[in-house]
Amino acid sequence: MPVTGAPHPAGYSLLDQAWIPVLDTAGQHREVSLLGLFEQAHDIRMIACDLPTQTFALLRLALAILHRATDGPPGEAAWRALWRDRKLPVADIAEYLDAFRDRFDLLHPVHPFYQVADLHAAKDTRYGLERLIADVPNGLPFLTTRAGPGLDAITPAEAARWLVHCQAYDAAGIKTGAVGDTRVKNGKGYSIGVGSLGSLGGVHLEGATLAETLLLNLVPVAPGWQVTDERDLPVWEREPQTAAEEADATRGPYGLLSLYTWQSRRIRLFGDAAAVTGAMISIGDRLDWQDRHLLEPMSVWGRSGPRETAQKRTPIYLPRPHDHTRALWRGLQTLLPPPPPPGGEPPQRLSPMVVQWLARLTVTGVVGADFTTRTRATSVTYGTQQSVVDEVFSDALTMNVLLLVEDSALRATAVDATGDAEAAVKVLRRLADNLARAAGSRDTDVGEADRAAERGYALLDRAFRDWLARLGPDSDPVAERAAWQRRVRRAIDRLGRELVAAAGPTAWIGRTITDRNGRDVHYSSSQADAWFRLGLAKALPMAADSPHQRQEERA
C-alpha cells in the first residue's frame, strides 16, 4: 500500500534534493533530484557518476520507477506511444513517486531508503565509510585521494549514490553480523557473494538524451519479453526490510522490479542532513543468477558447462562479465552472437534482452533502419575470493540498429571484421617472435610479442570504432569488409616495417635454429619479414593488391 505524508523534518528527500550527477545536452555537469531526473530527461545527455557502475545502478533504479509508472509498459503499442514523442509520462511519474515519498527519504527514522533503520551489531562499534565507498582500495588507503578527512564524512548526496552502488556491486567477504539475522555466527555475517550486479556483464543502450536512453531500455512486460507477476514489486512498495534474510517463499525475484531494486545487503547510514559519517554493512538477500536470462534484460549470457554436467541437463545459462583485458569491439561476437543453426544445439551465448528488443523494433519498422545507438558495457572484476574490487570496466560502441538484428548481413560483417583484426595482430606477434629469435633470443620473447600486439590493437581501436559507426542501411557488407581488411593491412604492415627496421644488425645476419622436428631453420629479419607478408596476405585475403587498393595506399 502507498505510504503517504510529508518528508521527515530531519530527513533528506531523494525526490527533492539534488544528488544524481548528470551531463546535460549543453555539455554541463550538474546534479538533479530523482524527480528532476525525469522532468529534465529530454535536456539531459546521460547520468554521469564517479564510476560507470554507479551510473548503471542508478539507471536501473530510474528504470524501475519508469516501469511502475507506465504499468509495464503492457505491450509494444504502449511502448510505441512513448517512443513516438520521445517524452516520458512526467505527471504519472511525479504522482507515483509522491505516493511513496516517505520511502525515498534517505534518513527516515523508520524506513530509510535502501536501508534498515535499526540495524545494529551485538557490540557497539564505530563504523567508517571505507566499506561503503568502492574507490577506496581495501587495506591501501594511501592510494586514494580520500585518505584522512575525505573518509571522515561525505554529503548525503554522495552517500545516497554509494548506497545504491553498494547494494549492486559490494564485494563479497565477511560482513558485520547484524542482530536478528540467524545466519550470523560469532558476530560475523559470512559471505553470500558479491552484490546483485557484480556477476553481470552489464549492457544498456544509450540514446541522444536520457529520455531516449530510458525508453530504449524499457523492455515491455508482454508475452515473449517480460512476464507479469503481481508479486513483482520494487522494494519501496514492500514492507521495510529487517536484518534477516527474506524467506525463500517471498524473496523472488519475480521480475524486473525485484531485480532492479534487489537488496543484496542490509545497510544503515549514520549521520544527518549535513553529513554522513559512517555505514554499517551486513549480508542481505542471496541471488542465484542461473537461468535468469528471461528475467534480466541487461546482461550478456553464456552456457555453463560445469553446471550442465553437474545437473545433467541443457542448457543452463549464467551471466558473463565482460573480458576486462579486451576492448568491447574485440569481443563483439559475445555481445552479438551468431544465430544458432536450425535444429542444432541451444546457442552458447545469448545477447542481452535490451539488444533483442531493439532488434525486433528495427525488424518491425518501429525504429528506422537509419537509427544509431551506443551500446554500453559495464562490469566489475573482483580479486582475493571476490572480497575486493580490482577493476571497473566500461566501454561503448556506436552502431546502426541493423547490427543488432540476429540474421543481419551487416552484423555478420562486423563480427567477421573483428576476426580479421585478431588474425592480423596474430601475424604481427609472430613477426616479433621471429625477430627475437633472429636477434639471439633462446626462446620466444613474449614481452616483445605482447608489446607488438598492444601497439597493433591500439592502432586498430579507433579505426574499427569509426568504421563500425559508419555502417548503415546503404552499406554493402562485402565492400565494407574488403575496405576494412585493406585498412588493417596498411596499419599492421606499417607496424611490421617498424619492427623489422628496429631489429638491428644481429637480426639481419640471423641465426640457424633446430626446430622440434629436427629441421634447421634460419631466422633473420629479412626472412621474418617475408613470412610476415605471406601471413598477412593469408589473414586478409580481401585486401589483395588491386589498382583501387594501391590508389588508397598512395593517398
* Structural domain contains residue 6: no
CATH of the domain at 443: 1.10.132.100
SS (H, E, C) 134-154: CCCCCCCHHHCCCCHHHHCCE
The answer on 413 and 399 residing in a single domain is: no
The answer on 51 and 151 residing in a single domain is: yes
pLDDT at res. 137: 47
* Structural domain contains residue 270: yes
| Domain boundary residue, one of 368, 403, 438 | 403
For the segment 344-367, what is each residue's pLDDT rounded down to a tens digit?
A: 889 999 999 999 999 999 999 999
| Domain boundary residue, one of 403, 434, 467 | 403
Domain limits for position 189: 20-196+218-283
Set of cell numbers at residue 220:
515491455
The answer on 464 and 334 residing in a single domain is: no
* Residues 547, 552, 554, 555, Cα dihedral to 10°: 140
The answer on 442 and 373 residing in a single domain is: no
* Structural domain contains residue 375: yes
Set of cell numbers at residue 214:
530510458
Set of cell numbers at residue 104:
525515498
The answer on 413 and 320 residing in a single domain is: no
For the segment 476-499, what is each residue's pLDDT rounded down to a tens digit?
A: 999 999 999 999 999 999 999 999
* Structural domain contains residue 508: yes
The answer on 509 and 388 residing in a single domain is: no
Sites in the chain below the pLDDT cut of 70:
1-10, 135-150, 442-445, 545-555
pLDDT at res. 144: 46
pLDDT at res. 145: 44
Helix or strand (DSSP H, E) at 507: helix 504-509
| Domain boundary residue, one of 351, 376, 403 | 403
pLDDT at res. 515: 74
The answer on 87 and 65 residing in a single domain is: yes
Q: What's the rounded Cα separation, in Å, for the pair 256 and 321?
A: 20
Measuring CA to CA, which residue among 134, 224, 226, 120 is closest to residue 181?
120
The answer on 356 and 271 residing in a single domain is: no
For the segment 92-141, what is each residue's pLDDT rounded down to a tens digit?
A: 999 999 999 999 999 999 999 999 999 999 987 878 998 899 864 444 44
The answer on 169 and 271 residing in a single domain is: yes
Measuring CA to CA, which residue among 214, 274, 281, 285 is closest to residue 247?
285
Domain count, the chain: 3
